[in-house]
Amino acid sequence: MSEQKHTPHNFKYADIFLGCYFTEYLIENYEKYLTGNLQDLLLDIDSLRKKQEDITINPRLFLELKQTFRLLVSLCTARAEGNNISITEYLKAKANNTNNLPNEFKEIENLHKAINYINEKKLVHGFDKEFILKLHQILTNGIDKSSIHGTEKAGTTPGSAYRKNNPKLTTDLHLPPHWDEVDEYMEKLCDFINQENESQYDFIKAAIAQYRFIWIYPFDSENEKLSRLLSYAIVLKSNLNKKDSAKFNPAIVLCKNRYLNQAITEQNTDNGIINRLEAVFKNIKEDIEKVNMLADYSYLERELLNPCINRCLEKNFITENQATILHNAVEKQIIQASDVKEVYSYKSDTEISREIKKLIDKKLILKESMGTRKYVLSLENNYILGELFCILIEKGFVQS
């Protein structure tokens, strides 16, 4: 199978790793690039992800926080590809449980489902065609066949097969392989991903697989989005048995790379490959550093949760009494009826129970576990969620 020719100038995102740099599908072939600044970055990344910091957040609240991250990353990833739905619009539609949502809303929902699927799948048996087709099926579920962002089509058999045609891309800088070669290319790509290797190669493998996936262009639509989901799944799988896996931020590989623009015009030489890998690793290093901050509950309390409650109070989304209860929930992580009684000292136990029910109904608190009368802060309230999204963006946990 021969590689197709590409125009050797103005290389775009899909043209980063070409044939002469990907012929043998052996991760060890990239060892020669692990020198200088690239090697230093990889060592820093490996050190950061092995850092043994205990997660001091209540498990129920931590689960809420992870779901918040995944949803926010879904929003930002979709917006990075031209989806113009704002956080406010999305949360409003979500609160109204609107049926027959436009494609823009379904895209975000599908991305969120795909991220959750990757986290639940575990991939203990590695990557294969079935897994990739399932991701494509989730992403395209309920989406109209005519794309909202361009001339792409959802395909006649989304999620059941690779493309059965030769796509006409809007750029003449890349000609994807003929459709009848896609299965073989994708099989080799999965073999490449499934290779056993030392942990220092994990992020190299994720970067190369992401770019190669786009080069193959296996589907009629969603190829760039799928390439980043694949990259996320590779890195997540490499951390499954590590203590830090619970802290991994999907924004690391799913959101647009803040350093990519400075690297995409590099030629496909050894230096070009190094510069592109370095762009990815800088992004990864900075995001792992940020996520490690969240292992420290005092940081989470001081910089995220309490400011979020204060903003909601300032905008009259919640009352002063509700804000006091939520601040107590943040300080103690777990509250009971007696904590609510401190705010409503003049009310009877029955009335306190009603106040707690109101807080639960408004999704401001939730039960720590079924059957208990202990409660934690909820991040499902649209006002809380919206303000938390804004703070996370302001602090650089994801890109706006």
Question: Do 281 and 308 fall into the same domain?
Answer: no
Question: Alpha-carbon distance 330 to 172, whole Å?
Answer: 54
In this prediction, residue 346 carries a pLDDT of: 92
In a shared domain, residues 378 and 272: no
The verdict on residue 25 lying in a domain is yes
Helix (H, G, I), strand (E, B) or coil at 317: coil
Please give the pLDDT value at position 275: 73
CATH of the domain at 355: 1.10.10.10
Residue 245 covered by a domain:
yes
Same domain? For 217 and 199 the reply is: yes
Give CA–CA dist 224/194, Å, rounded: 21
Q: What is the mean pLDDT of each run of 10 residues along the chain (400 residues)?
A: 39 36 53 78 79 70 80 77 78 71 84 87 82 93 62 58 83 76 91 81 80 87 87 76 49 49 49 73 76 80 95 96 96 94 93 94 91 90 90 79
If asked whether residues 137 and 155 sit together in one domain, one would say yes
Contact 291, 371 (CB under 8 A): no
Give a yes or no: residue 195 inside a domain: yes
Domain shared by 133 and 227, yes or no? yes
6 occurs within a structural domain? no
Q: How far apart are alpha carbons 35 and 166 in whole angstroms?
A: 39
Residues 51 and 142 grouped into a single domain: yes
Backbone angles phi, psi at 230, to 5 degrees: -65, -45
Q: What is the pLDDT of residue 16?
A: 37
The pLDDT of residue 399 is 64
C-alpha dist (Å) from residue 326 to 46, 296, 320, 358: 37, 19, 10, 13
**Co-location of 73 and 149 in the same domain:** yes
DSSP, collapsed to helix, strand or coil, labels residue 59 as: helix
Asked whether 391 and 284 are in contact (CB, 8 A), the reply is: no
pLDDT value at position 243?
47
pTM: 0.75
Number of domains in the chain: 2
Q: Is residue 244 part of a domain?
A: yes
- Could you tell me if 283 and 354 lie in one domain? no
The answer to whether residues 22 and 45 belong to one domain is yes
Residue 5 resides in a domain? no
Domain edge (last residue) among 243, 275, 293: 293
SS3 58: coil
**Number of helices followed by number of strands (H, E) in the chain:** 16, 2
Rounded-to-10 torsion of CA 259, 262, 267, 268: 0
Give the Cβ contact number of residue 159 at 10 Å.
Answer: 17
Final residue belonging to a domain, choices 293, 320, 335: 293
- Are residues 87 and 168 both part of a single domain? yes
Quick one: 209 and 310 in the same domain? no
- From the CA atom positions of the chain, what is the Rg in Å? 23
Each residue of 193-224: b (16+ CB within 10 Å) or e?
beeeeeeebbbbbbbbbbbbbbbbbbbbbbbb
Query: Does a structural domain hold residue 57?
Result: yes
Nearest to 267 by CA among 73, 15, 38: 15
- Please identify, among 278, 293, 308, the residue that sits at the C-terminal boundary of a domain: 293
Domain that holds residue 273: 13-293
Write the CATH number for 56: 1.10.3290.10
169 and 42 assigned to the same domain: yes
